[in-house]
């Protein structure tokens, strides 16, 4: 097969968020349990320092104060190496963890792993994980330039108990 989207059973809102244990750009270990009791924006992206991924990361960076006021953590995940994440985070002053999923197991568990022949990368998908560790919202079609605003609106609706608009 030339290309494929590899994943486990497709996640849906209400499902438990798959656990992970990955290193960030500083070599620190991160697990899903670290975010127990708070909202989490877990966003997957294809490649460090590319135009769309940079736009998306910088949007989250610029909106981080708003997200922190909402008691929300932001974590990015790609298949890039820790060193690549460190350079990307330093270049754009990204103050949130970028996790290295080198083998693609976490991306696969979240249905975000894409293969194109020998190439593998994470698709641009975002998961809002509630304080109990369940998937609250999934964004599979993401515009990197407006996604942070979309996520904030979705989180506001979820935190207010309304059904968020897609």
- Measured distance CA(141)–CA(82) in Å, rounded: 26
Whether the Cβ atoms of residue 144 and residue 52 lie closer than 8 Å to each other: yes
- Of 15-24, 109-118, 121-130, 157-166, the poorest mean pLDDT is in 157-166
Question: Confidence band (pLDDT; 50, 70, 90) for 118?
Answer: confident
What's the pLDDT at 6? 41
What's the pLDDT at 9? 60
Question: Confidence band (pLDDT; 50, 70, 90) for 117?
Answer: confident
Catalytic residue numbers read: 53
What's the pLDDT at 89? 98
Q: What's the rounded mean pLDDT across residues 82-93? A: 98
Whether the Cβ atoms of residue 161 and residue 66 lie closer than 8 Å to each other: no
Closest CA to 104 of 81, 121, 87, 88: 121
Residues near 4 by Cβ (< 8 Å), separated by ≥ 6?
A: 114, 115
Residue-range domains of the chain with CATH? 3-7+49-159 (3.40.30.10)
What's the pLDDT at 4? 37
Which one is predicted more confidently, 10 or 53?
53
| % of the chain beyond a pLDDT of 90 | 86
Closest CA to 145 of 54, 46, 39: 54
What's the pLDDT at 116? 84
Give yes or no for residue 78 having a pLDDT over 50. yes
Whether the Cβ atoms of residue 71 and residue 39 lie closer than 8 Å to each other: yes
Give yes or no for residue 2 having a pLDDT over 60. no
What's the pLDDT at 62? 98
pLDDT tens digits for range 6-50: 444 689 999 999 999 999 999 999 999 999 999 999 999 999 999
């Amino acid at each position: 097969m030339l290309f494929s989207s590899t994943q486990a059973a497709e996640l849906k809102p209400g499902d438990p968020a798959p656990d992970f244990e990955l290193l960030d750009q500083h070599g620190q270990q991160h697990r899903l349990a670290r975010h127990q009791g708070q909202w989490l924006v877990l966003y997957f992206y294809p490649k460090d320092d590319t135009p769309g991924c940079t736009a998306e990361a910088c949007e989250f960076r610029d909106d981080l104060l708003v997200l922190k006021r909402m008691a929300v953590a932001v974590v990015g995940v790609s298949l890039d190496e820790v060193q690549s994440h460190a350079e990307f985070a330093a270049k754009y002053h990204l103050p949130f963890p970028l996790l290295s999923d080198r083998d693609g197991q976490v991306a696969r568990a979240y249905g975000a792993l894409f293969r194109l022949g020998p190439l593998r990368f994470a698709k641009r998908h975002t998961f809002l994980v509630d304080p109990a560790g369940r998937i609250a919202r999934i964004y599979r079609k993401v515009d990197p330039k407006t996604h942070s605003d979309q996520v904030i609106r979705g989180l506001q609706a979820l935190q207010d108990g309304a059904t968020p608009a897609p």
